[in-house]
Amino acid sequence: MVRRIGILGGTFDPVHIGHLRGALEVAEMFDLDELRLIPNARPPHRETPSCSAEDRLAMVRLAVADLPPLAVDARELERDRPSYTLDTLISLRAELAAEDQLLLIVGWDAFCGLPTWHRWEELLDYCHILVLQRPDAGSEAPQALQDVVAARSVPDPQALAGAAGQIAFVWQTPLEVSATQIRQLLASGKSVRFLVPDAVLAYINAHGLYRASN
Ligand code: ATP
């Protein structure tokens, strides 16, 4: 039987309800067998995260415990070089049947930055790309992507066919929360209750993460 696996990469510094709600909505919309959250080790495009990989991973594990089909995939933390998405896709593909569908989930902003990713033209050889849209997102892809979107996008996301190679756009319930905001609240001694799962909050408190003195 053909499996459908979604992947959502991020720094998850820390994981929050925006990530989790988005992941759950996509998992239900596409009836995914699994949706893997993949914490980045050394993101090529971002500043160094402000807590350890071990803590970020532990928090994602707590967040998705008992929440199938959400799961954690720690492969990028096990590598000793930058975590290019293409490498992750290649290694995931090696573990799947050829006909299994792999859906790479990216926000609109990340999608617009795709042409700066390592060997980006090859990504669609390994996966479909599912772009999460919001009402405030730009309505047109940047020039560099427009040919690819014209050639590869499907109007109906449910019609994604084959193991890889297509692009679909889906609307997502907006939740205006970011890890940056959560780190700032914690650094100024404020509560982040209801912005992260209670188990993640307990971990943050127990380990004294993101406090101003760290
Ligand atoms: P930071 O504030 O540190 O930049 P972040 O909250 O944007 O972090 P990331 O770990 O960079 O979180 O995000 C990983 C993925 O989750 C990205 O694809 C991003 O678009 C998506 N994401 C982040 N915040 C939300 C949100 N509130 N709703 C839906 N998706 C989100």
- DSSP class per residue in 65-96: TT-TTEEE--GGGS-SS---HHHHHHHHHTTS
Can you count the helices (H) and strands (E) in the chain?
Answer: 7, 6
CB of 149 sitting under 6 A from ligand 1:
no
179 lines ligand 1 (CB under 6 A): yes
Please work out whether the CB of residue 180 comes within 6 Å of at least one atom of ligand 1: yes
Model pLDDT for residues 100-143, shown as the tens digit of each residue: 999 999 988 889 999 999 999 999 999 999 999 876 666 677 88
pTM of the entire predicted model:
0.92
- At residue 191, φ and ψ (nearest 5 deg) are -85, 145
- Ligand 1 midpoint to CA 1 (Å): 32
- When pLDDT is averaged across residues 28-53 and rounded to a whole number, the result is 82
